[in-house]
Every structure is written in C-alpha cells, then in structure tokens.
Amino acid sequence: MRADTLLVGGGRLGADVGLRLVAAGHEVAAIRRRAELVPKPLQAIAADLTLERPTLPPLDLDLLVIALTARPRTEEAYRATYVDGMARALDAIDAAGHRPRRAVLVSSTAALRAHQDRAHQDRAHQDGPAQMLLAAEELFSARVAETTVLRLSGLYDGTSTRLVDQVRSGEVTDPHRWTNRIHRDDAAAAVVHLLTRTEPPDQMYVGTDDEPAQLGDVAAFLASRLGAAPPPPADPSLGHGTRLSNAELRATGWVPQYRSYRDGYADPV
C-alpha cells in the first residue's frame, strides 16, 4: 500500500506524529537524514534536505506534515533547514504532482517575536533564527494549499533535563520571567488532531499548555520534587515576558493531557 501521509522530518516529534497516524490507520513515510532512525512501521526516506532534493517513492499523498529540527540555533542553520530544506521537499512533492488535502507546519512561538520585530522595523534587535522560522511559515503558506501553522511553545517531556539540572545545581536565574511550555505528547496529539479533524482548521494556532508560569514557580515545584534547595521565589509584580494562550486550539476540540508544568514534571528524572 502506498503511503497517504508524508512527514518532512522524522525526529522525535515527527516520529511520534507518524506513529499516532499509523495507529489511526494511515500509511506514513518520513524523510530523515539518518533513515535508520525512523521507527517502523514508518517508511523511511533518506535525504539531507540541507543539501539535496529527496527522491520520493510512489505515494497516494493526502496528508503532509513538516516537522524539521535545526542545529545549532543560528540564522544560517535555520535558513538551511527550515527555509531551503523545506523548499527542496516541496519541490519534490510538486515534481511528483502531489497535492495534499491538508498540511501542517510545526513552527515555534519564537516566530511571534520575529513578526513583532518586523512590524516595528526593529532591525537592530531582530532574532535571526526566529526570522527564518517566520520566512518558513510564509513560504509554506505560499506554496501549499489548505495549510495550518502550529506554533509550539517550549517543548519538553519526561526526559528533559535542562531545567532539572539547573534546579539541582542552584543555577536558576531570572525567576520572575513568564514561561510557556507544551509537553511533547500534547504537541504530537495537536498535530494529528489538526490533520484529521472533520472541520478544516484555521491557518494558525499556538500550541501551549493551560498555564503560563513564572520560571521561579516552575523551579520551586521541581525543587520540591527533587529534594533540592529552593530557588529564588517568583514575584508576580516583577513578572516580564509573554504569557501565551491555547484558547483557539482548545476551541477546535484539542485538550492537553499535561495541562501545566505540575503534570508534565510530576516525576522529574
């Protein structure tokens, strides 16, 4: 049977999306530079999109997911992956004559800052990688019909150790900063939900949990779970940064399993 779904990017999030779609009855192919890392029963397509246009197998393409990952966080790496790499994948899809019925691009809420900087012509402080994310969103919407962009906030799961390590070592800084996050399972579920729901989705959603939180509050919760020394407390009157809402995504019927950091970090590693 020919795959009806193509994942451009078969990393951890993309693979999770693909496995969920397989469980729902879809045949899924995934493009990844190291094809041996694509989990079965996903069909692996080996291609380094920063260098080459992929060769696609015969497909009955109905659903398309772009879920790329760039390293390091530089403007050059983000352009090579999110803009040029995605363009090469779309070139291959066009050359094969495919027109997916529905497509989702996994982006980042960093693109919100890029959009604001561009609107205010704040070129002196522009975030180069975020600008590349915004450029990728614009390219995606220009080249693919029936598109939805899902901007994810800080992605984490039960194996995420960066903040845990900071709490253990007492290196938490800026406790008053507002933070936003989404568990990897909820992010994958959101992609599948937007791809497969009966009603066509809107063009843009923010994927985040129900509770923006100051970093000091998250760190204090982790410290209590880890038996570590408590970090500096958060002060709401000193809060700064952005608090994001998932109201529009929730209105489509998506409900996060991990509604706050207390759920996602219940058993920190």
162-190 pLDDT tens trace: 999 999 999 999 999 999 999 999 999 99
Alpha carbon distance, N-terminus to C-terminus of the chain:
41
**One-letter amino acid identity for 241?**
G
| Per-residue pLDDT tens digits for 50-101 | 999 999 999 999 999 999 999 999 999 999 999 999 999 999 999 999 999 9
Does any domain span residue 253? Answer: no
In a domain, 224, yes or no: no
Look-up: residue for tokens 């800080």? 154
* Contact partners, residue 250, CB within 8 Å, separation at least 6: none
In a domain, 200, yes or no: no
- How confident is residue 123, by pLDDT bands cut at 50, 70 and 90? low
Using the predicted structure, report yes or no on whether residue 124 has a pLDDT greater than 90. no
Count how many domains the chain has. Answer: 1
Asked whether residue 124 is domain-assigned, the answer is yes
pTM of the predicted model as reported, rounded to 2 decimal places: 0.95
Residue 222 located in a structural domain: no
> Has residue 239 got a pLDDT over 70?
yes
What is the CATH number for 30?
Answer: 3.40.50.720
Establish if 248 belongs to a structural domain: no
251 belongs to a structural domain: no
| pLDDT, position 224 | 95
Q: What is the pLDDT of residue 120?
A: 57
> What pairing do the DSSP bridges indicate for beta strands 213-214 and 178-179?
antiparallel
Mean pLDDT of the chain: 94
For 4-63, what is each residue's pLDDT tens digit? Answer: 999 999 999 999 999 999 999 999 999 999 999 999 999 999 999 999 999 999 999 999
Q: Where are the beta strands (DSSP E) in the chain?
A: 3-8, 28-32, 43-46, 59-66, 102-108, 147-152, 154-156, 178-179, 181-183, 204-207, 213-214
pLDDT at 222: 96
Residues 6+ apart with CB under 8 A from 95: none
**pLDDT grade, residue 122 (50/70/90)?**
low
| Domain extent at residue 14 | 3-152
Report yes or no on 97 lying in a domain. yes
